[in-house]
Amino acid sequence: MNSNKITFIGSGSIATALANSVSSKIPDKIYLLSIEEEVIESINTVHRNNKYFPFIPLNHNIVATSDVKVLKDSDLIFIALPSSVVLNYIQKNKDSINEKAILINLAKGFGDDRRTIIQGLEDITNNPLATLKGPSFARDIINNFHTGLTLGMNDIDLAPPIKELFKGTNIHLDYSQDILGVELISILKNIYAIVMGIVDAHYNSPNLRFMVLTNAFQEMRGILKQFGGKEETLFNYCGFGDFGLTALNDLSRNRTMGLLIGKGFLTKDISDQVLLEGRIAVNVFCEEISKKHALDNFHIISELYNVFYKEQKVTTFVNSILNNN
Ligand SMILES: NC(=O)c1ccc[n+]([C@@H]2O[C@H](COP(=O)([O-])OP(=O)(O)OC[C@H]3O[C@@H](n4cnc5c(N)ncnc54)[C@H](O)[C@@H]3O)[C@@H](O)[C@H]2O)c1
């Protein structure tokens, strides 16, 4: 039995869903550290998260709190915040964190200064770090569907408590020591999911869709390797699986953003978080690749850059990526 104390930072969809999965197996309290008073109140009184899953009863050993002191006692700390706030949050609260706790990053996206969240965390803290990524809609997890996640850790010797925590639940882990690759793929797959949305907004053709999907996957592989990730990581849950889920399923926010862009709804005043993160990621990758004079090898992302930053028409984008032999 896992006797580690578990805290999720955040009380949104993925924190609530994963906490509910693991709490069904262990008698101890599992904490959701939250800034949302109404969520704390609903979890602690009626055992539901009224904002994110109002109709799903939660296990009674899930406790919500706004008190960061809970981090001092925690052995496993899952970070389930928007990517843009993770580094600030940990910087601000690092003195409250048990120095031996493993920090497990769930957020997908760049941290700051063109680096992954894990690279940013390495500067802020000496805690052991891990990343957990995969094809995982929170809605499916909370409805107890089987879900595969990749646990990325440099020091795989620290994995057993996390492995033990998920054993016997609906969460199935595979493992990778390529923590950089796991983080990079979680950013890349969002970019190429936007591409698939744009293409699917123009054509309803399985042949065409899977031609572009294959080209996109190859491009992801090239960029991953160029940035220091390992090709083999693409065949973990965080790779092929998460790309497929994000690129092809309409529940995906990135694919949906692509569908909207494809239908002509990209205007300068859109301030959507998904679009913002996508634009930043495309810019970071393209600028870094340009420094190596290799942008010609990555036609799809460089054409998307033109859509985001040079007002290239979406139809030109689609024609260009379809006819790039
Ligand atoms: N690893 C995975 O498989 C997986 C799956 C889904 C989502 N995610 C990632 O997990 C993160 C959370 O996703 P979600 O769908 O749960 O989002 P969500 O919007 O449902 O929840 C976000 C949570 O962050 C909290 N929050 C926001 N700003 C904050 C701040 N400044 N300080 C403290 N708390 C703050 C909110 O109160 C909320 O509890 C995202 O980065 C997302 O990409 C990962």
In testing the pocket of ligand 1, which one of 13, 90, 141, 166 has its CB within 8 Å of the most ligand atoms?
13
Question: Which residue ranges have their beta carbon within 6 Å of ligand 1?
Answer: 10-15, 34-36, 52, 80-83, 85, 89, 106-108, 132-134, 136, 138, 149
**What DSSP line would sit under 25-56, residue for residue?**
T-SS-EEEE-S-HHHHHHHHHHSSBTTTBTTS
pLDDT, residue 268, reads 66
Helix (H) or strand (E) holding 196: helix 179-202
User: Do the bridges between strand 76-79 and strand 102-105 make them parallel or antiparallel, or are there none, so unpaired?
Assistant: parallel
pLDDT, residue 273, reads 81
> Catalytic amino acids?
189
Give the angle 154-151-120 at the CA atoms, nearest 5°: 55
Name the token pair of 303.
């054409």
| Domain topology for 181-322 | N-(1-d-carboxylethyl)-l-norvaline Dehydrogenase; domain 2 (1.10.1040)
pLDDT, residue 293, reads 85
Contact residues for 205 (Cβ-Cβ < 8 A; gap 6+): none
pLDDT, residue 121, reads 97
Domain 6-177 falls under CATH 1.10.10.60: no
Q: Which atom of ligand 1 is nearest to the CA of 134?
A: 3
pLDDT, residue 270, reads 67
Domains 6-177 and 181-322 share a fold: no
pLDDT, residue 220, reads 98
Give the angle 313-316-320 at the CA atoms, nearest 5°: 145
Q: Which residues, given as ranges, of the chain have pLDDT below 50?
A: 1
Helix (H) or strand (E) holding 62: strand 62-65
Name the token pair of 321.
């990526």
Centre a 10 Å sphere on the Cβ of residue 271 and count the other Cβ atoms it contains. 7
3-state secondary structure of 251: coil
Domain boundaries, the chain: 6-177, 181-322
* Four-residue CA torsion sign, 164, 170, 174, 179: negative
Q: Are 73 and 100 in contact (CB under 8 A)?
A: no
pLDDT per position as a tens digit, 104-147: 999 998 888 789 999 999 999 999 999 999 999 999 999 999 99
